[in-house]
Amino acid sequence: MLTNLSGIEQPKPELSERRLIGERAGLRLVLPHHEHAGIGDVIATLQSSRLIAGVELEPLVQWPDDRGCFTELFRFGAPGVAQEFNPQSVRQIQVSFTVSYPGVIKAIHYHFAQTDLWAPLAGMFQVFLCDLRDDSPSWGCINTLFIGTQRLWKVRIPPGVAHGYRVIGASPAQLLYATDHFYDPADEGRIAFDDPEINYDWSPRPR
């Protein structure tokens, strides 16, 4: 049985009925089928029980005073989302920065080896996460996070969890992210943002 993070049990299809993305170093990635378009579970708390297994969230704390503001992003190797990024054991830490304009969608990416640490610096992101790991207790589950200047969260995304984002609001968004491998095209998997199996709804939804 497949139990999604909302507690609804569904039969897990046989592998032959699902789309195998690939397998490497014991990690098998399989595309789930979502019959109805949607955004999965919206994560509104740091310790949400609906969070995909292995994904971690941490507040981005600001220290303002009369001179301005200081923010510490990551302590590599220290307890927290960056604990596994120990410079003594991880030799290929890369830190990157991107700016995206309002309405831009960057999705869907996945990795077999690389872990991502995301820290939004400006603007607002609608972050998409989907668990592709065949042996994960949360396989097939989708999370949506709304993070940025109005919700300062850092996100750890492990290998096998597909990810992407859409910039929401009227301002460009800035994202700083660290990875535990240098950029490697062989580990940079892509799925179309509008893949019909994942069936993620990127459109603004009236409420």
Averaged over successive runs of 10 residues, the pLDDT of the chain (207 residues) comes to: 50 63 93 95 97 97 95 94 89 94 97 97 98 97 97 97 97 97 93 96 82
- State the pLDDT at residue 137: 97
- State the pLDDT at residue 11: 56
Whether 201 is covered by a domain: the verdict is: no
- CATH number of the domain that 165 lies in? 2.60.120.10
Whether 128 is covered by a domain: the verdict is: yes
Number of structural domains found in the chain: 1
Whether 200 is covered by a domain: the verdict is: no
Whether 146 is covered by a domain: the verdict is: yes
Model pTM?
0.90
How many other CB atoms are found less than 10 A from the CB of residue 82?
A: 23
Whether 89 is covered by a domain: the verdict is: yes
- State the pLDDT at residue 15: 52
Alpha-carbon distance values, 158 to 10, 55, 155, 207 (Å):
25, 6, 10, 32
**What is the distance between the alpha carbons of residues 41 and 26, in angstroms, rounded to a whole number?**
28
* Full domain range(s) for residue 94: 2-190
Whether 207 is covered by a domain: the verdict is: no
- State the pLDDT at residue 3: 44
Whether 180 is covered by a domain: the verdict is: yes
**What is the distance between the alpha carbons of residues 76 and 65, in angstroms, rounded to a whole number?**
26
- State the pLDDT at residue 25: 85
Whether 204 is covered by a domain: the verdict is: no
